Structure 1
Amino acid sequence: MDASTAGLLVVAVLMLMLIGGVYIGVALGLAGMIGIWLTSGASSAFAQLATIPFSTTNSFTLAVIPLFIFMGSFATQANLTTDLYRAAYKWLGHLHGGLAIATNFASAMFGAASGSTIVNAAVFTRMSMPEMTALGYSPRLAAGCIAASGTLAALIPPSVLMVIYAVITEQSVAKVMIAGLVPGILTACVFAASIYVRALRNPDLAPTPVAMPPLGERVRSLRGVWGITILFVLVIGGIYGGFFTATSAGAFGAFGAMLIVIAKGRLNLKSLMEIIKEASISTTTIFIIVIGGMLFARFVTYTGLITDIVDWSLALELPRLAYLLGFILLFLVLGMFIEPIAIMVMTLPIIYPIMTSVGYDPIWLGIIAVKMAEISLCTPPVGLNVYIVRASSPVPLALEDVFAGVTPFLLMEVLILALLIIFPEIVTFVPDLMD
């Protein structure tokens, strides 16, 4: 069968499987196998099935994923979130919407340890949702703040999404992760500013600010953030300073987080086994998607479909901005139905060559891709973080309230995305210094 016909058939089969509820990693792998079978024969298809799972997972670069997951799990066990939250509230609680602002920054800081948007959203929903609603905060503001700030874990390094992007596009994991630092901080600051302005203009959203605690009390609250500070300096400082690779940084971070748990007396055999279990499940889930995506990518590569699509797209001679808008629209639409890792695995083998061919910087493009994945985590109908907040909330919360609450933050995301496009130096400045 010729490549074009096989490509159309395989895409149709893939869509049917996804609509039918087949797990995305399995669907991608089966679609890729069918495509190779149709174009190269059964022996070739089974040969790929026999080699790709091992060659994909037997990767020093991908080893960073379970290491960062372990680091996040140990950080959660060490109860670093509570310490961060209390310190942030001591310093920011006197502002309009101060508790929501504190939640936003605490979530951003914890994202530097967890690397998981799901973990961030679940942890801060259980911890800060009861606090905010008990003090009179609007449930919509509280839920929207938690859902949106939880996505910062995708942008602030270390991030699993950034590792996936770097592996698929064969870019430096260290550079891609460092590139997300300034955009991540910028996003957290814009979120905080928007909360303050909204609470100032509409007092019904948040109660009257509390009095600022004495300076000594605020300084003492910083004692609780030593753990997250050590992890951040160890991982990001080590990578940026060139002391070790991203994978080694993950190992140091995981080991450091374990030592913090031990120092706090919160590690026992039962908790250790639970951490290993959770990290193993998360890692396996991600790796199944990556393996399935690699099988699918091998099909489109072997058949020449990628070359044909790239040549056809470039032959249109569209303005560079048109290609970028198409890239953003594709991520936005797919993000309404599919999780971010799967989107990257499915689209980047085809879209990345087109975008780099028209002149876009690979590192900058990675941050735009992660930013779009971040936005997709809060967009209906399948905004994963929205559902996590709804499911984890200890107080009654309707799904429509979470979507309504997160909408103003999505508008801020659009503003930040525009800034990153207009001023790409926001992304590229720090990675360029590494050269």
Structure 2
Amino acid sequence: MSERELIGALSTALVLFLVAIRVPVGIAMGVVAFGGISVAISLKAGLGILTAVPFEMVGDWNLSAIPMFLLMGYVAASSDLTKNLFRSARITLGWMPGGLASATVISAALFASASGSSVATAAAFSRTAVPEMMRMNYHPGLATGSVAAAGTLGALIPPSVLMIVYGITMSESINSLFLAGLIPGLLSAVVFILYITIRVWLNPSLAPKATEEISKAERREAFRDVWPLPLIILCVIGGIFVGLFTPTEAGAVGAALTILLALVRRSLTRVSFADAIRRTATGTASIFIIVVGAALFQRMLGLTGIAGYFSDLVATQFQTQLGVILAISLLYLVMGCFLEPVSIMLLTLPVLTPVLQHFGIDPIWFAVIAVKLLEMGMVTPPMGLNIFVVKGALGDEVTLGQIFRGTFGFLLSDFVTLALIIGFPILSLWLPAVAN
């Protein structure tokens, strides 16, 4: 190991240490990267990169899609759109074993297509679906677990903020990444519904069968209230698929249509709109700080040569793509227990990129695997982000233990989906190939 590679290795270890003691990830990566470049090359080089990289990254046109999709999701969550989605899905699936929980998964999948945010999805349905399930005497674990797990669908089903961040970091087509996540995202929802149905069929006490009669007029009213949001989703995803919009343009169109729909329905107040703007600004700023820090960290890894050294080291330990994928999966699962998804992605991708290239692993396929693993981390103890979102929304109505136990079966279901994604790459690569 050369002197520069040693500096790169020590810098990487220092970043991991700082993250472990709760220093914000973006700041840790940025500060250490500046120090590493200054020591390995020169202070002038460090200052030059410190001034150039943030401007270069924030000026990336693709990054402007993030606030657009976040605003789209927060406006939808602030209005009655989630209630209408859940009501329509409940009327359609209420007859099934665990029908309300399955309705939550379906409506969350649709809402995820309008928000791109797992946290927004989990928060929205914690306030709409869980109280309804509790009123129908559903087991608290099943009710909260289905919402926490269904919320993770926002990470994979397009538009996905994680996919945008991955595409910018890896210089991959965001259109292709969105399309790659669509089938695996829908597959995740189907596997969740199968799990709910089988579990409730085996233990009916978890979810008493719905007995209320629903008139034809109520059915018509439910579907009349819900159709505009799927239409907006179709415009956004369909526009990307046929090449009518770039992801940024699609985000702007989706946000504008969602705001217009909420205004027409008079479900968006000044207070709720201001709150959506505030949450969008906060979320965007936090993501941008991490993106800039990761870009600086990536430059440091390249200039010190430690990324190539790590790639050669991994190549001596593993002989096949599958072995590398399984090792990375284990790494992501462990990190997902302690860190939030964007931080994990931007902390690891600069190091893993040479490894993926060495083994010829398709970066689009790997994106789906990585995002699926990050999804799973959002419901994995002890730091499962969605679990704390659900707990925060419900307060003392449920305990953290009930939510964690409720998500366990969904986590096992995720392993089934992950195995299918790894075993059958065509699930991720078919739609991008058709579009191209």
Shorter-chain TM range is over 0.9
Counterpart residue type for residue 294 of structure 1: A
Distance verdict in 2 for CA 1:93–1:325, change over 3 Å: same
Number of corresponding residues: 435
Matches of 1:14 and 1:356 in 2, distance apart? Answer: 24
Runs of 4+ in 1 over 4 A off after TM superposition: none
Which range moved further: 151-160 or 29-38?
A: 29-38
- Name the residue aligned to 1:65: 66
Task: Point out where structure 2 has 5 or more consecutive residues left out of the alignment.
Answer: none
Counterpart residue type for residue 56 of structure 1: M
Matches of 1:154 and 1:373 in 2, distance apart? Answer: 8
In the alignment, structure 1 residue 352 sits paired with structure 2 residue 353 = yes
In the alignment, structure 1 residue 277 sits paired with structure 2 residue 278 = yes
The offset of 1:34, in angstroms, is 1.7
Matches of 1:111 and 1:41 in 2, distance apart? Answer: 46
Task: Point out where structure 1 has 5 or more consecutive residues left out of the alignment.
Answer: none
- Structure 1, residues 259-287: CA drift from partner, whole Å, max 9, x if none? 11221123444433322221111100110
Q: 1:367-406 to 2 correspondence within 5 Å?
A: 367-394=368-395, 396-406=397-407
The offset of 1:301, in angstroms, is 0.9
Q: 1:119-268 to 2 correspondence within 5 Å?
A: 119-210=120-211, 213-215=214-216, 217-268=218-269
The offset of 1:212, in angstroms, is 6.1
In the alignment, structure 1 residue 418 sits paired with structure 2 residue 419 = yes
The offset of 1:234, in angstroms, is 1.1
TM-score by length of 1: 0.96
Matches of 2:117 and 2:79 in 1, distance apart? Answer: 16
The offset of 1:355, in angstroms, is 1.9
Matches of 1:211 and 1:346 in 2, distance apart? Answer: 50
Matches of 1:268 and 1:389 in 2, distance apart? Answer: 24
Give yes or no for contact 1:91–1:212 (8 Å, CA) kept in 2. Answer: no
- Structure 1, residues 35-73: CA drift from partner, whole Å, max 9, x if none? 112212222222222121111110111111111111112
Distance verdict in 2 for CA 1:345–1:84, change over 3 Å: same
Give yes or no for contact 2:236–2:254 (8 Å, CA) kept in 1. Answer: yes
Give yes or no for contact 2:9–2:306 (8 Å, CA) kept in 1. Answer: no
Matches of 2:183 and 2:380 in 1, distance apart? Answer: 24
The offset of 1:164, in angstroms, is 0.7
Distance verdict in 2 for CA 1:211–1:265, change over 3 Å: closer
Matches of 1:197 and 1:191 in 2, distance apart? Answer: 10
- Name the residue aligned to 1:54: 55
Counterpart residue type for residue 354 of structure 1: V
Matches of 2:304 and 2:325 in 1, distance apart? Answer: 26
Matches of 2:221 and 2:124 in 1, distance apart? Answer: 24
Matches of 1:268 and 1:323 in 2, distance apart? Answer: 50
- Structure 1, residues 407-427: CA drift from partner, whole Å, max 9, x if none? 000100000111111111111
Matches of 1:179 and 1:321 in 2, distance apart? Answer: 20
Matches of 1:331 and 1:72 in 2, distance apart? Answer: 26
Counterpart residue type for residue 57 of structure 2: T
Counterpart residue type for residue 100 of structure 2: L
Q: 1:3-152 to 2 correspondence within 5 Å?
A: 3-152=4-153
Counterpart residue type for residue 241 of structure 1: V
Counterpart residue type for residue 123 of structure 1: A
Give yes or no for contact 2:65–2:252 (8 Å, CA) kept in 1. Answer: yes
RMSD of aligned residue pairs (Cα, Å) = 1.6
Distance verdict in 2 for CA 1:301–1:156, change over 3 Å: same
Matches of 2:140 and 2:271 in 1, distance apart? Answer: 35
The offset of 1:4, in angstroms, is 2.6
TM-score by length of 2: 0.96
Counterpart residue type for residue 41 of structure 2: S
Matches of 2:430 and 2:20 in 1, distance apart? Answer: 42
Give yes or no for contact 1:126–1:394 (8 Å, CA) kept in 2. Answer: no
Matches of 1:316 and 1:279 in 2, distance apart? Answer: 43
- Name the residue aligned to 1:331: 332
- Name the residue aligned to 1:299: 300
Secondary structure class of the residue paired with 2:361: coil
Matches of 1:139 and 1:317 in 2, distance apart? Answer: 44
